[in-house]
Each structure stands twice: as structure tokens, then as C-alpha cells.
Amino acid sequence: MTIKQIPTQPFSDQRPGTSGLRKKVTRFQQPHYLENFVQSIFDSVGDIQGKTIVVGGDGRYYNQQAIQIIIRMAAANGIGRVMVGRAGLLSTPAASTVIRKYRTHGGIILSASHNPGGPDGDFGIKYNTANGGPAPEKITEAIYQRSREIEHYLILDSIDTPLDQCGSYSVGNMTVEVIDPVADYAELMEELFDFDAIHDLLTGGFALRFDAMHAITGPYAREILENRLGAAAGTVMNGNPLPDFGGHHPDPNLAHAKALVEQLFSEEGPDFGAASDGDGDRNMILGKNFYVTPSDSLALLTANANLVPGYQKGIAGVARSMPTSLAVDRVAERLGIDCYETPTGWKFFGNLMDAGKVTLCGEESFGTGSSHIREKDGLWAVLFWLNILAARKQSVADIVQQHWAEYGRNFYTRHDYEEVDMEEAQGIMEHLEQQFPTLTGRRLGSYRVEQCDNFSYTDPVDGSTSSSQGIRILFEGGSRIVYRLSGTGTVGATLRVYIESYDPDPRNHQQDPQQALEPLIDIAVELGQIDSRTGRTRPSVIT
């Protein structure tokens, strides 16, 4: 086996977004494209000689081929050991678990999260650092700058490594250790939650359905929910990971998990339903005839954390992304703990957790997590809810409605306009900013603008700043509209519009959010000139 130095030229589109580099599979399959980015990682993340890294992905199309390339490049670049999930599989939360447990130098995760898969679908790659979390901006920027000047990459001339069975293999001077992708993660969950209480719940007539969406969490959910916690066989639906996710969009929301939603809203439906996404880091929570918004879920987990063994010693603080509802802020105030508002992107929570400032955190985009790892964690959130249900012995709807009665309800919705022309999307953002000088104090319908800005964040741990993170229109009384361009898509731009209004009166809490927020929704569309600038008369997805 010899090390080859392959001449190459830079690609102009390898700047990582909030969740790494995401492109169409066909782009990654172009000669040298993946290799350039992997070499740029190895050149930018510190001394890797003799070190251990973790590699795995969500099983989407091109996952295994990419892993074989990464293994051969790792060997050529002097890495000492690669830990890879059997069959190339590792959920994003599990990868973070393995990185932290074995104190590796970091890890490469292959996923485009909730984006569609298959030969014509999306693919992604990101680097996680030794804390188990996504690389901070200073590292992703270094990777990008290296990708702009790369002239060659190193790769070992060797055969593929067997990945279908656990064991150790030699690749040049490097060891490849194929590990059980589920075991370490499942053991961590047993440490955090009251498995005995959840087992009693799930074997005592409580009906549960979990939709793995033919993505990575199928094996994890079967092992934990069915094998360890006693849920009935078949509780996990769509449990076999498929390269194209069965032709479906692996995004756990009301639009893309329709079969699960229909079951929970049927007469004979189960008591509790949940779903996770492509790489296992997102979650949707449903009760019988009841949908829990991600923002409400974060607030409820925080308010009930004392019922869960892993969090009974107390919560240091909480954090939410800026677009996420202010519902958790009210809980934090009551508990007397700090609540941090960060830009979107899990890496911003990492510093806060490493510094001991927060324990729980979440984003409105169906992501919640805690300091047990440094990624959001879909199945963890499901187990947290099951632990609360086992302890409180109430329905999901009763728990949420009691929470609203105590704290008030933050009516909240997100309207996504997908695959918008990039120039049109940027034009909307520029148009909004141009209105700032005349917006403050202006009355829009029955609302008066109190403040408007393009959100900027200064990290309280390292002092780094992140600007232009989303346009906020804040109204007197706590209502707000937020506009943001998402970095998770691969075609055009996704314009996300977040609308929120607070109501403390329980008599109003049963309203449908779209109806309760209708005046603000109309203001959001008109203020951004969304219809006229995009030609869209309605959002692609409403959550």
C-alpha cells in the first residue's frame, strides 16, 4: 500500500454552512470534490498525527463510498485510529457520544440531516471537535480558506475496509475499529432516564408509536424502546434505514410525517407519538389529538427536569436560538436560572455547555438537547417526555395545557418558503433592513414596533461575535416577527418567517395558532413584500 499525492484544484463552493457542507449527491461525486474538503479538514483541525477520529453517517446514498475514501485519506494523513459505526452508520447524537466517551480528536459526520436522500438527493459532511460538538466558526472558516488554495490531497492506495461486522482492521499504519453504532448511546440514555418507570409505563397499557422515517434512528429506537423498555414489537415504524429514506422527506414535522400524525389524530390512535429525522438529532412530539411545538417542548422539559434522574441535581441554565419562542424564557425566570439567546446553529450552545452555563437547550427547528452531548438529540427528547409522562401519569395534552395555564401561552408558527431564488430572498432581507430608520414606533395594524434589528450575538465565553443572524421586528407587549435565510438547503434559499404572540389568558389558549396569529402573519407578508418579490402566495411548509 502506497500513499498517493493527487494533484487537484480548488472548488469555489466549499464554504460550510451552519451544519457543515451540504450539496447534491452529484456534486460530491464529482472527481476530487469530497477529497478536497476532507483534506482541508485534516489540514485545519490541529495536529492529527497518531490521533483517533470518529467517522459515521445517517446511511443516506453515497455514505459508504464516502467513508471508504475518508478512511484511506485518514491513513495517508497519519491518523492513528478511525472508529466507524458498523455499516458506516452513526446517528449524529451517537457520534457525539462516542467522541466524548473515548476522548477522540474529533469526528467526521456524513449527513444532510432532514434533507431528502437518494442519487438525486442531498449529501453533507461536517467536522465535530473533541467536545463532540460542531466545529466553531473559526475552524469552519479555516477549512474553507484551506479549500480555496488546496493543490493536492493524500490518499492510500488500498482496498475497501469491511464495515459489515464489528472488529479491528489495519489500513496501512492505521487501525480501523468498526463499532456497534447503538451500544454506547443506549448506555448513556440508561444513565440519564428512569428506565424502570418508563418500562412500567410502556408495558402497562400505554400505547406508543415512533416514526424513524427510514432514517438512522430505526436501530436505536428498536433497541431502546422495544428491546430495553418493553414497547410492543412494531412500535417503531419505518425502522429500516434506507439510502433514499424510502423516497420520503426525513423531516419530523406535521407535513412530512403525515402517517404518524394521522394515527395520533385518529379515534383509535396511540397515547404518544414521536418522530426523528435523517441523522437522529431532531424530534417531533405528539400526544393523542395533540401536537407539541418544539418551543413549548423545550419549555416543558425545563419546567419538569426535576422529574428526570439525570437532571434532578438542578439545571445550570438554558439556551435557545434567537428565532425560538420565548416560552422557555418564562420558565427560566421562574426557576431563577439564566436563559441565553444565541444564533441558529448548535455550535453556539457548545461554548455555553462547556463553560457550565447551560444544561438544556433547543431550537424551534425540532431540535432539543442537553449537556450530555454536544449535539441536539431526537431520541433523548422522546425519552425525556416518556420519563415525564411516567412520573406525572397525565396525558400530553393535560401536561401542556396546565403549563400554559401557569406560564401563559406563546402562540408561535414558522412559515418556510423553500427554494426561493437567492437574489429574491436577499432582496427581501435588504428591503426589510432599509425600513429600519422609519419602523421603530410605527403602528402596523394593532401592533406598535418597539425595536427592529439584524440580530448580533457576542459569545459570553470567548467574546467572539456573530452578526446578521436574522431580522427581528419586536412589538410592544412581546409579539415579534423574525425573518431569516436558512443555511440547510442545497437549492436556492429557504426564507423562514417566525411569528409569535404571547397570551396569558387561559380562556384563549385553545385557539389554533394560525388563527391567533393571522394579523401578524399578514403583517409579516406585507412588510417583507414576500408575495410580490417571490411570486409565492403561500409558504411551502407551515409548522
The three cell numbers of residue 160 are: 475497501
Q: Helices 195-202 and 378-392 meet at what angle, rounded to 10?
A: 80
Query: Beta partners for 486?
Result: 494
Catalytic residue status for 540: no
How would DSSP label each residue in 44-94?
Answer: TSS--TT-EEEEEE---TTHHHHHHHHHHHHHHTT--EEEEEEEEE--HHH
Which of 96, 89, 25 minimizes the C-alpha distance to 378? Answer: 96
Residue 263: partners with Cβ closer than 8 Å, 6 or more residues away: 209, 269, 270, 273
Burial code (b: 16+ CB inside 10 Å, e: under 16) for 50-84 equals ebbbbbbbbbbbbbbebbbebbbbbbbbbbbbbbb
What distance in Å separates the CA atoms of residue 302 and residue 362, rounded to the nearest whole number?
10
What distance in Å separates the CA atoms of residue 444 and residue 173, rounded to the nearest whole number?
67
Query: Beta partners for 4?
Result: 155
| Cα–Cα distance list, 511 to 123, 409, 505, 516 (Å) | 39, 10, 11, 6
The three cell numbers of residue 167 are: 472488529
Which entry of 19, 113, 325, 479 is annotated as an active-site residue? 113
What distance in Å separates the CA atoms of residue 216 and residue 377, rounded to the nearest whole number?
12
What distance in Å separates the CA atoms of residue 478 and residue 501, rounded to the nearest whole number?
7
Identify whether the C-beta of residue 379 lies closer than 8 Å to the C-beta of residue 224.
yes
Three-state DSSP at 320 gives: strand
Identify whether the C-beta of residue 54 lies closer than 8 Å to the C-beta of residue 90.
yes
- Supply the residues annotated as catalytic: 113
